[in-house]
Amino acid sequence: MFERNILNNLTEWKGRASRKPLILRGARQVGKTTAVNMFSKEFDLFIELNLDLFSDIQIFKEEYGIEEIIQAIQVMKNISFKKRNILIFIDEIQNSPHAVKMLRYFYEKRPDIFVIAAGSLLELALENKDISFPVGRVEYLYMYPFNFNEFLKAIKENILTDIIDSERIPDYAHDKLMKLFHRYTLIGGMPEAIKTYLDNNDINSLKTIYQALLVSFVNDSEKYAKNNTLRTVIAHCLNTIPSETGKRIKFQNFGNSSYRSREVGEAIRLIEKAMIIYLIYPVTNTDIPSRTDFKKSPKLQLLDTGLINFFTGIQPEFFKFDNLNSIYKGFIAEHIVRQEIIASDYTHNNPVPIWTRESKASNAEVDILIQVKGTVIPVEVKSGASGSLKSLHLFMDESNSEFAVRLCRNMMNFERVTTPSGKTFTLINLPYYLAGSLEKIVGKFI
């Protein structure tokens, strides 16, 4: 079992006096159950209930109160709750509305018992069942595929993780980090794909893993389709999404189909609720609060870059180039960077927006916007001279920010840049592998 960074968040949750039952969110097979099992080592007693199993869901079938449920768990599992440090893990909790309801009473009546719940399809279940989580009685953490820091730990490169944390990257470490980040982008962050690659050291051995993931996503999403037509559209969308990822999309005729906008929109949003994709809608202003324009076409972000590489057949490109910005028109670099930024925040599910300015004269688009200490910071994922960042210059002309970021293959450095309109700002150049530390690094300047 690989070490996951979310274990730090779980330990912090355990130590809080104001702790509430925790809902662990994330797409299927990102490692939620494994993380909870690793975390369970901190407890005297660990009880795992999987509500996909008939025997476990029976505990919540009757309208039992909280004390009766605790007694039923002890009887069904043949264990005693005499020990003080107890963790109950309720997996696939969306299968039982009564189990969800009982989270409130674990919080109010039995706060001495630690409770974590998880489910890959919680949002989909909420739309289709009489089920609602007790507001104010539970809290949430989000889990994603491995980020680069976790990947380095998995391949036993712990010294490099310490170097990244120090933000003082020597030349020899930078070269190695770039090669490993390139490999990580190729493989992706799905736990089973990483394990299989490390076991076999063969990229071809991952084909069955990626294919099985896609099949499981199709099967899961189809469970909540209300008719056969929607099931068909969902399957089409899931098979089409990898080749459309990184693009601004339209729902009408998505993937060269004859499906209407309403049909595709319903299917895409079900897939989004399963946390398999993100719809990245543009922001049109340069300061806080950000104004998202949902009338504009969204950009498509998939759960994991490794899935894109496999299903679009671009894996061979990784062996031709050593610069991510040269692969597949540069969008792979932007995709993995956004994936890193999303995975760095376990308390929110933030899709990380783009910025656009569209006019008859010209269009502009900045790859990523982040907020640091109340300031909107534009981030471009590009190589080349700072003077070629036309969209970034347009953003800075309209913005109050004095800082911008470029993620590229180069080592960390800083430039004073002047836009054609005369505004001077600081451009922070960072290597791709520091994307997960963006907020921390930029925060030191603001």
Res 347: pLDDT: 92
Residues 437-444 have a mean pLDDT of 92
Q: Where are the domains of the chain?
A: 6-142, 148-337, 354-443
The two three-digit tokens of residue 84, written as one number: 């003080």
Which run of H or of E encompasses 13? helix 6-15
Q: Which has the closest alpha carbon to 88: 53, 50, 31, 132?
A: 50
Query: So what's the pLDDT on residue 203?
Result: 86
Question: What sign does the CA torsion over 293, 142, 199, 218 have?
Answer: negative
> What is the rounded distance in angstroms from the CA atom of residue 49 to the CA atom of residue 55?
9
Backbone φ and ψ for 422, nearest 5 degrees, come out as 105, 0
User: If you average pLDDT over residues 189-208, what whole number do you get?
Assistant: 91
Query: Tokens representing 32?
Result: 């939620």
What number is the average pLDDT over the span 94-100? 90
Give the Cβ contact number of residue 338 at 10 Å.
25
Given this structure, which CATH class describes domain 6-142? alpha beta
Q: Is the pLDDT of residue 127 over 90?
A: no
The larger pLDDT score, comparing residue 378 to residue 218, is at: 378
CB 257 within 8 A of CB 293: no
Mean pLDDT value of segment 330-338: 89
Q: What is the Cα–Cα distance from 124 to 184, expressed in whole angstroms?
A: 30
Residue 275: both structure tokens together? 């946390």
Angle, helices 158-166 vs 171-187, to 10°: value is 110
pTM equals 0.91
**23-36: burial string, b at 16+ Cβ within 10 Å, e else:** bbbbbbbbbbbebb
Residue 271 in contact with residue 221, Cβ under 8 Å? yes
With the C-alpha atoms ordered 305, 310, 313, 314, is the resulting torsion angle positive or negative? Answer: positive
What pLDDT band is residue 289 in, cutting at 50, 70 and 90? Answer: confident
Distance CA 176, CA 405 (A): 22
Q: Residue 112: CA atoms inside 13 Å, Cβ hemisphere, count?
A: 12
